[in-house]
């Protein structure tokens, strides 16, 4: 509490200072690198794209890419974060207005997810695979442990408990993890059998129904 109260006092609101030229340049480089990386990752895949190519495509030097990002994975991480921010912004707007049962709301949420992610399937797969890479900084957030998605699922389940269509005796964390495992499987399908958003949603719907049998109120 103290910390929260102290922050505004320590940093009183000021009129934004004129942007420092160096900062502006750095920001511009960063944006150009991310835009270039987005394009190259989508067309050539993550593994098939080098930092050198990203730099050339962005029209900056290799050195300046490395002054902004520690590694290629960090570029990917930032690209993904930008995209996911868009998705979660959309979900934050939509979720409170969803009607129907917990199962219906979960299905809709995942359907929105797949419709969004399927456009960048290869990138998501690279991102998931990288999650198990050694050399990652501990601060990187692998998709499988995506906190925003997990929060949305947990909120959905808690709402269900309050409304009585999720058994109050279950541990929402466990249900959430099962849903995440099911979600990961759907990604494998997408990767291996080139499933589209519709096929992904259908498989996810069946899995949600099976899990729901385990969280439905008894009696």
Q: Is 132 in the site for other proteins (CB under 8 A)?
A: yes
Q: Which residues, including other chains, have CB under 8 Å from residue 202's CB and lie 6 or more apart?
A: none
In angstroms, give the least distance from the CB of 148 to other proteins: 17
Q: Which of 37, 55, 125, 200 binds other proteins (CB under 8 A)?
A: 125
Q: Which of 26, 118, 144, 159 binds other proteins (CB under 8 A)?
A: 144
Q: Exposed e or buried b for every residue in 61-76, given b needs 16+ CB within 10 A? A: eeebbeebbeebbbbb
Q: Which of 41, 46, 69, 215 binds other proteins (CB under 8 A)?
A: 215
Name the residue with tokens 């270039």: 36
Contact positions with other proteins (CB under 8 A) in 163-182:
170-171, 174-175, 177-178, 180-182
Q: Is 86 in the site for other proteins (CB under 8 A)?
A: no
| CB nearer other proteins, residue 55 or residue 172 | 172
Name the residue with tokens 């990187």: 140
What are the distances in angstroms from CA 215 to CA 127, 148, 156, 160? 31, 22, 13, 10
In angstroms, give the least distance from the CB of 122 to other proteins: 8
Question: Quick one: which of 115, 173, 175, 185 has its CA closest to 144?
Answer: 185
Question: Quick one: which of 35, 21, 37, 99 has its CA closest to 71?
Answer: 37
Q: Which residues bind other proteins (CB under 8 A)?
A: 125, 128-135, 144-145, 170-171, 174-175, 177-178, 180-182, 184-185, 188, 191-192, 206-207, 209-211, 213-216
């Amino acid at each position: 509490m103290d910390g929260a109260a102290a922050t505004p006092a320590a940093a009183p609101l000021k009129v934004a200072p004129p942007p420092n030229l160096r900062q502006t340049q750095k920001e511009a480089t960063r944006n150009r690198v991310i835009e270039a990386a987005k394009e190259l990752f989508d067309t050539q895949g993550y593994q098939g794209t080098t930092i050198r190519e990203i730099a050339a495509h962005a029209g900056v030097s290799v050195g300046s890419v490395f002054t902004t990002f520690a590694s290629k994975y960090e570029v990917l991480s930032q690209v993904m974060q930008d995209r996911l921010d868009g998705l979660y912004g959309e979900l934050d707007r939509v979720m409170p207005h969803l009607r129907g049962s917990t199962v219906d709301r979960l299905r809709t949420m995942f359907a929105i997810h797949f419709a969004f992610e399927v456009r960048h399937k290869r990138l998501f797969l690279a991102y998931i695979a990288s999650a198990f890479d050694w050399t990652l900084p501990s601060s990187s957030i692998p998709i499988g442990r995506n906190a925003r998605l997990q929060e949305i699922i947990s909120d959905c389940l808690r709402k269900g408990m309050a409304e009585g269509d999720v058994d109050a005796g279950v541990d929402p964390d466990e249900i959430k993890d099962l849903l995440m495992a099911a979600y990961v499987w759907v990604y494998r399908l997408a990767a291996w059998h080139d499933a589209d958003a519709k096929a992904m949603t259908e498989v996810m719907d069946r899995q949600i129904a099976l899990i729901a049998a385990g969280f439905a109120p008894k009696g």
